[in-house]
DNA sequence: CTAATTGCAAAAGCTTTGCAGCGCA
DNA sequence: TGCGCTGCAAAGCTTTTGCAATTAG
């Protein structure tokens, strides 16, 4: 599978086994959002012998390279999500912990408008809806 | 000043000197958003002799009691803001670190609508706009 | 008086870093 | 071959916790 190699080369990172493996974990994960622990355990489960320090370093590098995005759904752990080229925000169910992705053009537009009204350019944003199932 | 005493009693917390002092710091601070360190230093500067553990415990209790709200503008430190009864979101200038509060009825409404469309009730949300000054 | 609260210091995470050895280009 | 990368273990940070002394009601 040369796909990972290309992705790494494209962002100027050396193609190494740990990096390829971490990319593969993120690409094939059932859950798009994984913590460092999640990734680390997935690697161990797959029989890979990487240190958790490498997972930390690698995910941080991937973030810097724009390969992944870091989220903070709860105040502790970061979770990482592979960038698939589409922007979206998140809805987190407070009961099940399930994460749902959504996108609202209207909200995006309003955010930009609000920033402009204050004489600012919008660089980025964090929007998380905390929800629970309707009864 | 009995105002703090009442606020504490109202939420069922014993009225103690550290709690009163911490409330006063939050009420009189120039900046609405303070980290544990900020509060701790303000207390020391005021000549108060409290342990930082107490500041952590107290702010967490205040949060549980609804007296303050905890925010995570950057991924490290929490910052706390005294609840003054109005809901608002935040805009953070990535250059100066300045925090601006804003409120958009339209965004609030859209959020609720989006949650509903997914068969959820909206419990809360986090919205932070990262901005920089227009050139 | 009794239970809650506090301060100190130790413990507990999670994350980062130093360094020697290993691996990619 | 040379520089970057990795693993390990140690160090760092922020936050939490145990406990004896103190304080509020």
Q: Running along chain B, 135 residues long, what does each successive block of 10 average in pLDDT? A: 87 95 95 95 94 97 96 89 95 92 98 98 96 93
Nucleotide lying nearest to A12, CA to C1' measure: D4
Q: What positions of strand D are covered by protein, i.e. any atom < 7 Å from a CB? A: 4-10, 14-18, 23-25
**pTM of the shown model:** 0.90
> Does residue A123 sit at the B interface (CB-CB below 8 Å)?
yes
Cα(B38)–Cα(B48) distance, rounded to whole angstroms?
A: 14
Look at residue A76 in the predicted model and tell me its pLDDT.
78
Look at residue B135 in the predicted model and tell me its pLDDT.
84
Q: What is the DSSP letter of A113?
A: H
Look at residue B102 in the predicted model and tell me its pLDDT.
97
Comparing CB atoms, the residue among A104, A123, A130 nearest residue B123 is: A130
Q: Do A125 and B123 touch (CB under 8 A)?
A: no
Look at residue A75 in the predicted model and tell me its pLDDT.
80
Q: CB of residue A17 closer than 7 A to nucleic acid strand C?
A: yes
Asked if A19 and A39 touch (Cβ cutoff 8 Å), the reply is no
Cα B118-B120-B124 angle, rounded to 5 deg? 120
Å from the A43 CA to the D5 C1': 18
Cα A49-A55-A58 angle, rounded to 5 deg? 120
- Residue A43: partners with Cβ closer than 8 Å, 6 or more residues away: A21, A22, A25, A50, A55
Cα(B13)–Cα(B7) distance, rounded to whole angstroms?
A: 9
Å from the B56 CA to the C20 C1': 41
Rounded to the nearest angstrom, the gap between the alpha carbon of residue A82 and the centroid of all alpha carbons in its chain is: 5
| Spans of chain A, pLDDT less than 70 | 1
Residue A129's φ and ψ, nearest 5 degrees, are -100, 130
**CB-contacts to strand D (7 A):** A 13-14, 16-19, 49-51, 53-54, 57-58; B 9, 14-17, 35-37, 52-53, 56-57, 60, 76-78
> Does residue B134 sit at the A interface (CB-CB below 8 Å)?
yes
């Amino acid at each position: 599978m040369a796909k990972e190699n290309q992705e790494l080369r494209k962002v100027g990172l050396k193609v190494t086994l740990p990096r390829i493996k971490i990319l593969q974990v993120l690409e094939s994960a059932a859950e798009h959002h994984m913590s460092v622990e999640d990734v680390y355990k997935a690697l161990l489960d797959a029989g890979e012998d990487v240190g958790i320090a490498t997972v930390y370093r690698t995910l941080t590098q991937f973030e810097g390279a724009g390969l992944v995005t870091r989220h903070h759904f709860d105040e502790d752990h970061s979770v990482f999500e592979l960038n698939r080229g589409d922007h979206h925000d998140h809805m987190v169910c407070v009961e099940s912990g399930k994460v749902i992705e959504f996108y609202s053009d209207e909200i995006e537009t309003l955010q930009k408008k609000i920033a402009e009204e204050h004489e600012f350019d919008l660089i980025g944003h964090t929007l998380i809806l905390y929800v629970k199932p309707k009864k």
